[in-house]
Amino acid sequence: MANALKGTKFNLPGQVSLYTGKVRDVYNIKNDYLIMVVSDRISAFDVVLPKGIPYKGQVLNQIASKFLDATSDIVPNWKIDTPDPNVTVGHMAQPFKVEMVIRGYVTGHAWREYRSGKRVLCGVPMPDGLKEHDRFPEPMITPTTKASEGHDEDISREGILSSGVVSEADYLLMEEYTRKLFQRGTEMAAEMGLILVDTKYEFGKKDGKIVLIDEIHTPDSSRYFYADGYGERQARGEQQKQLSKEFVRQWLIGNGFQGKEGQVVPEMPDQFVNEVSERYIELYESITGEKFIKADTTRIEERILSNINDFISK
Q: Of 21, 52, 97, whose CA–CA distance to 274 is shortest? A: 52
pLDDT at 91 over 70: yes
Q: Is the model's pLDDT at 1 over the cut of 80?
A: no
Gap between the Cα atoms of 260 and 16, Å rounded: 36
Q: What pLDDT sits at residue 28?
A: 97
pLDDT at 230 over 80: yes
Instruction: Give the separation between CA 90 and CA 100, rounded to whole angstroms.
Output: 20
Per-residue pLDDT tens for 190-221? 999 999 999 999 999 999 999 999 999 998 89
Same fold across 15-93+244-313 and 95-242? no
Q: What is the mean pLDDT of residues 215-243?
A: 94
| φ, ψ for residue 86, nearest 5 deg | -105, 5
Which pLDDT score, from 0 to 100, does residue 123 have? 97
> Architecture of 15-93+244-313 per CATH?
2-Layer Sandwich (3.30)
Asked whether the predicted pLDDT for residue 149 surpasses 60, the reply is no
Domain boundaries, the chain: 15-93+244-313, 95-242
pLDDT bucket at 9, cuts 50 / 70 / 90: very high
pLDDT at 101 over 90: yes
Residue at 198: amino acid letter: D
- Strand boundaries in the chain, DSSP class E: 15-20, 24-29, 33-38, 43-44, 47-48, 79-84, 87-91, 94-95, 98-105, 120-121, 124-125, 135-141, 144-145, 194-206, 209-213, 222-226, 242-243
Q: Is the pLDDT of residue 43 over 60?
A: yes
Per-residue pLDDT averaged across 132-139, rounded? Answer: 98
Contacts of 8 (CB under 8 A, 6+ apart): 25, 37, 39, 301, 304, 305
Q: What is the CATH number of domain 95-242?
A: 3.30.470.20
